[in-house]
Amino acid sequence: MKIRKAVIPAAGLGTRVLPASKAMPKEMLPIVDKPAIQFIVEEAVKSGIEDILIITSRGKTTVEDHFDRAPELEARLLANGKEDICRQIVDISKLANIQYIRQKETKGLGHAVYCAKTFVGDEPFAVLYGDDVILGETPACKELCDVYEKYSLGVAGIQPVEPSQIQKYCSLAVEQLGASNIYKVTDMVEKPKPEQVLSNFSILGRVVLPPQIFPILENTSPGANGEIQLTDAMRTLAQQQGMMGVQYSGTRFDMGNKLGILQAAVTVALTHPEVREPFKAYLKQVVSQLD
């Protein structure tokens, strides 16, 4: 079945990037000249998604404003002969059919996804974590949707993480299918203790889920950090009907993390037509002075 709907949870508190995220949602932090969440919406659209639900919360109205029209700004740009940037601004509001719902309490990613129950209805859907930007030739969401369409099972976007870091993530039990980038996921544990680590593979930023996740989420109690964890619900899903994993080909940048924000900025700047050359010259100068 073709995946037409996507959910972008963007209601988290962003405590790891305070104070930047105090009044500005981390999902709106710019990567050179575009907010992180626009990269994510563009990835969804390139993956064939038609309808998007963004889960927001108090203080995140800038997300809605960004994907809306801005008539005063547009008029001023046109009056000043800036047609090009004006077109770009208008195009943002036409990217996709975007709806919003508020998660009234930040009870965890699983709870945020549960808020999408009515929007999703009875079909499979993609989840693109609002603070994970993935850059690459092929959209990561598309790679997952293709695997869903082939196996009709939930799919997690997976990557190996540094063994010393796995306790901050979820850890997966996986079986690789031949020499491919596709895996069977048989078990998972969120924020594992050392003796619970299943492998260094984790779920990073993207999943495609069947609607059967909703009754499971309804019965999922708070887990790690006292939050309703999507991982706990996906573990039940994997046990009930199996799940797949795909090691996507792009590079993931964690916009909920200071280093991730810097890495994303450098990477995008080095391909940006306007700033690439002067930025490269600046970077070379900085590097030559490093000890």
Which residues contact ligand UTP by CB under 6 A? 9-16, 27, 55, 103, 106-109, 111-112, 129-131, 256
- Amino acid 103 reads Q
**Nearest approach, Cβ of 289 to ligand UTP (angstroms)?**
32
**Nearest approach, Cβ of 27 to ligand UTP (angstroms)?**
6
Contact between 57 and 69 under an 8 Å Cβ cutoff? The reply is no
**Nearest approach, Cβ of 255 to ligand UTP (angstroms)?**
8
Closest to ligand UTP by CB, 77 vs 133, is 133
CA angle 216, 189, 185 (to 5 degrees): 75
Give the chain's largest Cα–Cα span. Answer: 64
Contact between 41 and 66 under an 8 Å Cβ cutoff? The reply is no
* Pair of tokens at residue 199: 């492998």
Query: By Cβ distance, which residue is nearest to ligand UTP?
Result: 12
**Nearest approach, Cβ of 225 to ligand UTP (angstroms)?**
8
Closest to ligand UTP by CB, 157 vs 256, is 256
Closest to ligand UTP by CB, 10 vs 147, is 10
Q: For residues 229 and 224, what is the distance between their CA atoms, to the nearest angstrom?
A: 7
Closest to ligand UTP by CB, 132 vs 143, is 132
**Nearest approach, Cβ of 201 to ligand UTP (angstroms)?**
18
Closest to ligand UTP by CB, 47 vs 231, is 231
Residues 6+ apart with CB under 8 A from 163: 200
Q: Which residue has the tokens 């991982």?
A: 231
Annotate 11-67 with three-state secondary structure. CCCCHHHCCCCCCCCHHHCEECCEEHHHHHHHHHHHCCCCEEEEEECCCCHHHHHHC
Contact between 64 and 56 under an 8 Å Cβ cutoff? The reply is yes
Closest to ligand UTP by CB, 103 vs 182, is 103
**Nearest approach, Cβ of 193 to ligand UTP (angstroms)?**
19
